[in-house]
């Protein structure tokens, strides 16, 4: 639509677009649309040579003359009643600022994929084209003419359809020529939504008095009787199985029946069966009661507060969560319950569904588009007041929020690892603050940041130190691999001590879990004599071994050294390369325990949700004796008959070039150890070259570990004592990537100087994964005590990079990266 000069619109909108640019764009709002849209409405706008769907984030009544110049118009309004609620608009705006990502991309991520339109190209014939085609008196021979004939009696045709009929390869050139002659036009249009509300016909009795009944035929009386016996309402499809359509039609005509369409919601719960033990009433122990009481008071006060609920595995955190949700519901408020991974949701959602029935909605990426759309709408319409879901559920359109729970708050999967970056755990706290709600972060092994916040009083601390069912924690034994290597040779993967324990466990009819963490790309060295590994003298980060160059490299500051000929600590003249060999575990175990059932769980084996559930179900029922797995195994599952957990290489995670390596190791081992002896007394055996390291010597004592680790963080000035940003530069051409990284680094240094900022810019270094999907990757770390300064320096540097000839398309900026590997 075009607007004449006289009736120049006085209304403008600011639109956030789902593109990687961190800015919004101003568009003219044609008069026909004025007053018809609200904040959060989706609009179609022209952008460069494309059409994009954007989100209205502000209105302007007037702009200065110069700003109005050359503005483009909004093409279409997609929803007058916005999908994005004001609170989600506010939360995403905050997140876009904080993480320095595109607001539009965050808004897109906040909506279920089913309503995010896709564009498709359409081809239509013009009147000139029709004239041209009509000139033809014989059957068309050329491809161009064949296309014109095909289009002549149709409205716009999808390009894909044309490609199907004429072949993709020749089509392009022919269409281009036809377009140049103006015989056809090619346009892009938004496709209809992929997910729509689902309606079903329902039949119910409208009116039935004696007189009416008398007038019915026997067949009709049967139908009415059947309907009455079914409670007066049935789906049309269920009723039609009993009778004929004509009978129903007659009854409708006589005014006895009403046939109407109602919206039905596709439910992800349909296939979930509820186990009886999950319905068992739970009695709370004194610590649980205390936690419930404090959370209850906070919810009832209607003020923002965050709790850290620190409970050992099996301490009954779930019971506390359920009580808290009940409290929120009783206050007339809604609740959001975040869980880390899909593998956790079935058990939890089943449980929640058994308690709160249809009040519960579930949101995660493995739902079908239809299911996700319907669940999302049930939440938006206020039909579901309890939402359980993975990180994307932090944007659930709940109103009147009273409570947000983040279970396993330390878990990495809360972090969106690609653009737009965000951490759902941290956003949950911010959302609670905006909504004057209560946040509960639960974990057996809280993240350093959260425990630090609890120790400074920023979060309220709640402790559940005791297990509910079994008072014992599993016994915790370290196997010193230095001794094993001396006795059993360098190639040993499973020590004889672990083998013996496995034999004993299996012969007693118990089950075992063997845990291994494979991260093939990262190798490091340990001395098999003293157990030390080589670390960077600047950063205290494990140096990574690079085979081809035979060097050790720091991925934080680019410090390099050649592979030493002897151990710098004890002068032993041989190294052990960690990261090799763990794949052999399954092979070795299958050979040794051939009469037992062995299964493996990791991302290579488990592709589908059902496959994972299937294996876990079999293990729980005792069909499998030994389960081998990666960290997918370490979460949430309850196996009462497991008496042994073996950790093949406790050093694998510890050796990652990441300042959080010790924290990750402690979390993983504690979680996996929690699988042992939930009912019976169990054993945890850990193979390590470095049993003196505090991550192992603290056993499962979180507090002792925390104190050691927080000292290390403070000494080296790592979070929570500083803020870190990571700039990743990647490109297929290694030199090009490195060149851009060098320019970016220069811009950072200049910005730092100009602002007199107190922050460290590390040197350009290869990223720990130095090549991924054909792209070379370099990184620059920045660190400062001041979040504000990090933002200022980055903003200034980014505003100067283009001038300095840096190709910004190769650059991603990540604030608060949770994993530097
Ligand atoms: Zn040594
Ligand atoms: Zn370093």
List domains and CATH numbers for the chain: 12-115 (3.40.1440.60), 119-190 (no CATH), 207-255 (no CATH), 284-464 (3.40.50.300), 475-520+583-713 (3.40.50.300), 523-578 (no CATH), 723-815 (3.30.70.590)
What span, in angstroms and rounded, lies between the C-alpha atoms of 517 and 590? 19
* 542 alpha carbon – ligand 2 mean position (Å): 9
What is the Å distance from ligand 1's center to 495 Cα?
A: 21
Closest listed residue to residue 360, CA positions, set 431, 268, 432? 268
Residues 718-777: tens digit of each pLDDT: 999 999 999 999 999 999 999 999 999 999 999 999 999 999 999 999 988 788 778 899
Write down the pLDDT at residue 428: 98
Which ligand is closest to the CA of 820, given by its number?
A: 2
User: If you write DSSP's letter for every residue of 290-357 in order, what string do you get?
Assistant: HHHHHHHHHHHHT--EEEEEEE-TTS-HHHHHHHHHHHHHHTT-EEEEE-S-GGGHHHHHHHHHHHHG
Cα 687 to ligand 2 centre (Å) = 27
Inter-residue contact 538 to 671 (CB < 8 Å):
no
| Look-up of token digits 């579901």 | 384
- Give me the mean pLDDT over the 423-438 stretch: 97
pLDDT bin (cut points 50, 70, 90) of residue 195 is low
> How many angstroms is it from 132 CA to the middle of ligand 1?
86
Residues composing the chain? 821
CA 545 / ligand 1 centre spacing (Å):
16
52, two tokens: 């994009």
Distance from C-alpha of 396 to C-alpha of 337, rounded to nearest angstrom: 10
Query: Is the predicted pLDDT of residue 397 greater than 90, yes or no?
Result: yes
Q: Which of 109-123, 145-159, 179-193, 267-281 has the lowest mean pLDDT?
A: 267-281
Q: What is the whole-number distance in angstroms between the Cα of residue 572 and the centre of ligand 2? A: 24
Count Cβ atoms below 10 Å from residue 575 Cβ, excluding itself.
20
Rounded CA-CA distance 367/261 in Å is: 25
Supply the pLDDT for residue 8: 43
521, two tokens: 């790309």
Q: How many whole angstroms from 208 Cα to the centroid of ligand 2?
A: 84
Please tell me the number of the ligand nearest to residue 690's CA. Answer: 1
Q: What is the pLDDT of residue 438?
A: 98
Confidence at residue 742, expressed as pLDDT on a 0 to 100 scale? 96
- Which pLDDT score, from 0 to 100, does residue 64 have? 65
* 683 Cβ neighbours under 8 A, 6+ residues apart: 474, 475, 477, 501, 505, 643, 644, 645, 676, 677
pLDDT-based confidence at 279, cuts 50/70/90?
A: very low
Q: Is 579 left (phi over 0), alpha (psi -120 to 50) or beta?
A: left
Distance 475 CA to ligand 1 centre (A): 29
CA of 567 to the centre of ligand 1 (A): 5
Q: Cα of 525 to ligand 1 centre, how many Å?
A: 11
Q: Find the ligand nearest to 552 CA.
A: 2
Identify the weakest region by mean pLDDT among 426-440, 589-603, 607-621.
607-621
CA–CA distance, 599 with 619 (Å, rounded to integer): 9
Reported as a single tens digit per residue, the pLDDT across 519-540 is 544 578 888 888 888 889 888 8
Q: DSSP readout, 660-718?
A: THHHHHHHHHHHHHTTTTSSS--EEEEEES-TTSHHHHTTT-HHHHHHHHHHHHHHHT-
Whether the CB-CB separation of 572 and 529 falls below 8 Å is answered with yes
Model confidence band, residue 365 (pLDDT cutoffs 50, 70, 90): confident
Closest ligand (CA of 572): 1
pLDDT reading at 667 higher than 60: yes
Closest listed ligand to the CA of 556 = 2
- Ligand 2 centroid to Cα of residue 751, in Å, is 23
Closest-lying ligand to the alpha carbon of 564? 1
Q: Which residue has the higher pLDDT, 551 or 752?
A: 752
Distance 452 CA to ligand 1 centre (A): 34
> Cα(533)–Cα(531) distance, rounded to whole angstroms?
7
Q: How far is CA 245 from CA 168, 205, 216, in A?
A: 46, 16, 16
Instruction: Give the pLDDT confidence score for residue 276 in this predicted structure.
Output: 42
Out of 82-91, 111-120, 475-484, 548-557, least confident range: 111-120
Q: Which ligand is located closest to the Cα atom of residue 570?
A: 1
- Compute the distance from residue 651 Cα to the ligand 1 centre, in Å: 15
Q: Which ligand is nearest to the CA of 557?
A: 2
Residue 408 gets which letter from DSSP?
T
Mean pLDDT of 124-137: 83
User: Which ligand does the CA of 533 lie closest to?
Assistant: 1
Give whole-number Cα distances, 417 to 311, 412, 413, 423, in Å: 27, 9, 8, 9
Is the CA virtual torsion 798, 800, 801, 802 positive or negative? positive
As a whole number of Å, the end-to-end CA separation of the chain is: 51
For ion ligand 2, residues whose CB falls within 5 Å: 536, 538-539, 554, 556-557, 559
Helix (H) or strand (E) holding 182: none
Which residues fall inside 5 Å of ion ligand 1, going by CB?
Answer: 527, 529-530, 567, 569-570, 572
CA of 539 to the centre of ligand 2 (A): 4
Ligand at minimal distance from the CA of 543 is 2
Among 561-565, 611-615, 639-643, 719-723, the minimum mean pLDDT is found in 611-615
Which residue from 201, 191, 186, 256 is spatially nearest to 223, judged by alpha carbons?
A: 256
Measured in angstroms, how far is the CA atom of residue 690 from the centroid of ligand 1? 11
Q: Which residue has the higher pLDDT, 32 or 89?
A: 89
Each as own residue / partner, the long-range contacts of residues 323-326 (CB below 8 Å, 24 or more positions apart, any chain) are 323/284, 323/292, 323/295, 323/296, 324/292, 324/295, 324/296, 324/299, 324/403, 324/405, 324/438, 324/440, 325/352, 325/356, 325/386, 325/403, 325/405
Q: How far is the CA of 769 from the centre of ligand 1 (A)?
A: 27
What pLDDT was estimated at residue 3?
41
Residue 533 C-alpha to ligand 1 middle, in angstroms?
Answer: 8
Which ligand lies nearest the alpha carbon of 534? Answer: 1
DSSP state of 533: B
Q: 575 C-alpha vs ligand 1 centroid, how far in Å?
A: 8
Ligand 1 centroid vs 294 CA: distance in angstroms?
51
Tokens describing residue 801: 């990079």
Q: Tell me the CA–centroid distance for residue 761 and ligand 2, in Å.
A: 12
Mean pLDDT of 382-406: 94
Report how far ligand 2's centroid is from the alpha carbon of 522 (Å): 16
d(CA 485, ligand 1 centre) in Å: 13
Spatial contact of 799 and 793, defined as CB atoms under 8 Å apart:
no
H-only helix segments in 403-543: 424-434, 448-455, 481-488, 496-507
- Strand-pairing partners, residue 642, are 511
Say which ligand is closest to the CA of 571: 1
Most confident of 14-23, 137-146, 567-576, 646-655: 14-23
- CB-based contact 751:796 (threshold 8 Å): yes
CA distances from 821 to 416, 626, 728, 737 (A): 14, 30, 12, 18
Handedness of CA 414, 397, 350, 440 (dihedral sign): positive
How many angstroms separate the alpha carbon of residue 496 from the centre of ligand 1? 23
Cα 203 to Cα 248: distance, rounded to the nearest angstrom: 9
Of residues 169 and 581, more confidence is placed in 169
Three-state secondary structure call for residue 142: coil
> What is the number of the ligand closest to the CA of 566?
1
Measured in Å, residue 306 CA sits from the centre of ligand 1 at 46
Say if residue 281's pLDDT is above 70. no
- Give the model confidence (pLDDT) of 14-69 as tens digits: 999 999 888 999 999 888 888 778 899 999 999 988 888 899 999 887 776 656 66
Ligand index nearest the alpha carbon of residue 559: 2
Q: Looking at the CA of 567, name the nearest ligand.
A: 1
For residue 314, pLDDT over 80 is answered with no
Phi and psi, residue 748, nearest 5°: -65, -45
The least confident of 242-256, 498-512, 587-601, 622-636 is 622-636
Per-residue pLDDT, 68: 62
The answer to whether 27 and 12 are in contact (CB under 8 A) is yes
Average per-residue pLDDT for the chain: 85
Token output for 418 = 């690609």
Give the pLDDT confidence score for residue 6 in this predicted structure: 42
Examine the pLDDT at 318 and tell me if it is beyond 80.
yes
Compute the distance from residue 577 Cα to the ligand 1 centre, in Å: 13
Number of the ligand closest to the Cα of 526 = 1
Determine the distance separating the centroid of ligand 1 and the alpha carbon of 571, expressed in angstroms.
Answer: 6
What residues are paired with 537 via a beta bridge? Answer: none
Q: Cα–Cα distance between 79 and 531 in angstroms, integer? A: 63
Structure tokens at 772: 């991924």
CA of 286 to the centre of ligand 2 (A): 48
CA of 554 to the centre of ligand 2 (A): 5
* Least confident range of 137-146, 689-698, 797-806: 137-146
Can you tell me whether residue 801 is helix, strand or coil? helix
Classify the C-alpha dihedral 806-809-812-813 as positive or negative: positive
Q: Which ligand is nearest to the CA of 576?
A: 1
Quote the ligand 1 centre to 685 CA distance (angstroms): 24
* Largest CA-CA distance found in the chain, in angstroms, rounded: 106
From residue 65, how far is each of 22, 53, 57, 70, 661 by CA, in Å?
Answer: 24, 26, 22, 10, 56
Ligand 2 centre and the CA of 763: distance in Å?
Answer: 9
Q: 811 φ, ψ to 5°?
A: -105, 135
Whole-number Å distance between alpha carbons of 693 and 540? 14
- Cα 574 to middle of ligand 1, angstroms: 9
Q: Which ligand is nearest to the CA of 575?
A: 1
Contact criterion met (CB below 8 Å) for 15 and 57: yes
């Amino acid at each position: 639509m075009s607007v004449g000069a006289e009736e120049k619109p006085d209304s403008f909108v600011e639109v956030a677009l789902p593109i990687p640019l961190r800015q919004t764009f101003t568009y003219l709002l044609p008069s026909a649309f004025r007053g018809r849209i609200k904040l959060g409405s989706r609009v179609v706008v022209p952008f460069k040579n494309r059409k994009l769907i954007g989100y209205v984030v502000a209105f302007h009544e007037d702009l200065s003359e110069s700003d109005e110049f050359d503005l483009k118009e909004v093409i279409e309004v997609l929803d007058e009643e916005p999908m994005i609620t004001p609170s989600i608009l506010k939360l995403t705006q905050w997140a876009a600022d904080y993480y320095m990502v595109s607001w539009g991309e965050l808004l897109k991520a906040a909506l279920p994929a089913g309503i995010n339109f896709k564009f498709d190209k359409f081809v239509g014939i013009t009147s000139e084209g029709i004239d041209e085609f009509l000139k033809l008196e014989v059957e068309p021979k050329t491809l161009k003419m064949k296309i014109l004939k095909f289009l002549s009696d149709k409205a716009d045709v999808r390009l894909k359809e044309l490609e199907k009929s004429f072949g993709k390869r020749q089509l392009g050139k022919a269409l281009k020529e036809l377009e140049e002659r103006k015989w056809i036009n090619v346009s892009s249009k938004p496709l209809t939504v992929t997910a729509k509300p689902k309606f079903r016909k329902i039949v119910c009795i409208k009116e039935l008095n004696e007189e009416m009944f008398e007038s019915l035929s026997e067949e009709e009386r049967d139908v009415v009787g059947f309907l009455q016996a079914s409670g007066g309402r049935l789906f049309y499809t269920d009723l039609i199985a009993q009778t004929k359509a004509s009978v129903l039609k007659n009854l409708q005509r006589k005014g006895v029946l009403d046939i109407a369409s109602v919206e039905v919601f596709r439910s992800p719960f349909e296939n979930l069966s509820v186990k009886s033990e999950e319905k068992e009433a739970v009695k709370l122990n004194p610590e649980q009661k205390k936690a419930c009481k404090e959370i209850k008071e906070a919810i009832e006060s209607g003020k923002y507060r965050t709790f850290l609920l620190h409970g050992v595995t099996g301490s009954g955190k779930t019971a506390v969560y359920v009580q808290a949700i009940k409290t929120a519901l009783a206050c007339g408020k809604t609740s959001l319950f975040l869980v880390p991974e899909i593998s956790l949701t079935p058990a939890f959602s089943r449980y929640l569904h058994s308690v709160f029935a249809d009040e519960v909605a579930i949101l995660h990426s493995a739902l079908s588009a239809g299911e996700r759309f319907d669940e999302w709408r049930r939440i938006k319409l206020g039909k579901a007041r309890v939402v359980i879901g993975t990180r994307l559920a932090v944007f659930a359109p709940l109103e009147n929020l009273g409570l947000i729970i983040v279970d396993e708050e330390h878990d990495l999967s809360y972090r969106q690892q690609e653009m737009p970056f965000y951490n759902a755990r941290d956003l949950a706290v911010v959302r609670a603050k905006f909504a004057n709600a209560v946040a509960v972060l639960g974990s057996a092994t809280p993240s350093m940041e959260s425990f630090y916040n609890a120790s400074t009083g920023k979060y309220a601390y709640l402790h559940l130190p005791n297990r509910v069912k079994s008072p014992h924690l599993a016994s915790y034994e370290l196997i010193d691999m230095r001794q094993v290597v001396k006795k059993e040779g360098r190639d040993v993967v499973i020590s004889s001590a672990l083998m013996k324990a496995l034999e004993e466990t299996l012969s007693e009819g118990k089950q075992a879990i063997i845990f291994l963490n494979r991260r093939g790309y990262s190798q490091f060295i340990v001395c098999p004599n003293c157990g030390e590994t080589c670390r960077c003298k600047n950063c205290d980060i494990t140096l990574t071994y690079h085979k081809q160059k035979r060097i050790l490299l720091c991925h934080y500051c680019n410090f390099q050294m050649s592979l030493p000929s002897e151990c710098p600590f004890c002068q032993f003249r041989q190294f052990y390369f960690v990261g090799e060999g763990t794949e052999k575990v399954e092979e070795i175990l299958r050979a040794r325990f051939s009469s037992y059932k062995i299964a493996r769980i990791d991302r290579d084996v488990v592709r589908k949700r059902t496959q994972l559930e299937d294996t876990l179900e079999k293990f729980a029922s005792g069909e499998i004796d030994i389960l081998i797995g990666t960290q997918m195994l370490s979460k949430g599952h309850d196996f009462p008959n497991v008496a042994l957990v073996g950790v093949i290489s406790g050093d694998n995670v510890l050796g990652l070039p990441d300042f959080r390596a010790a924290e990750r190791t402690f979390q993983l081992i504690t979680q996996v150890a929690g699988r042992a002896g939930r009912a019976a007394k169990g054993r945890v055996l850990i193979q390590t070259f470095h049993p003196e390291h505090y991550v192992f010597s603290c056993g499962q004592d979180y507090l002792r570990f925390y104190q050691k680790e927080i000292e290390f963080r403070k000494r080296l000035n790592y979070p929570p004592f500083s803020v870190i940003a990571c700039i990743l530069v990647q490109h297929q051409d290694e030199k090009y990537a490195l060149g851009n990284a060098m320019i970016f680094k220069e811009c950072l240094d200049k910005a730092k100087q100009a602002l007199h900022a107190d922050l460290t810019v590390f040197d350009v270094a290869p990223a720990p994964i130095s090549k991924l999907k054909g792209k070379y990757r370099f990184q620059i770390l920045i660190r400062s005590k001041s979040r504000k300064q990090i933002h200022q320096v980055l903003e200034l540097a980014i505003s100067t990079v283009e001038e300095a000839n840096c190709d910004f398309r190769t650059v991603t900026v990540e604030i608060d990266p949770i994993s530097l590997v």
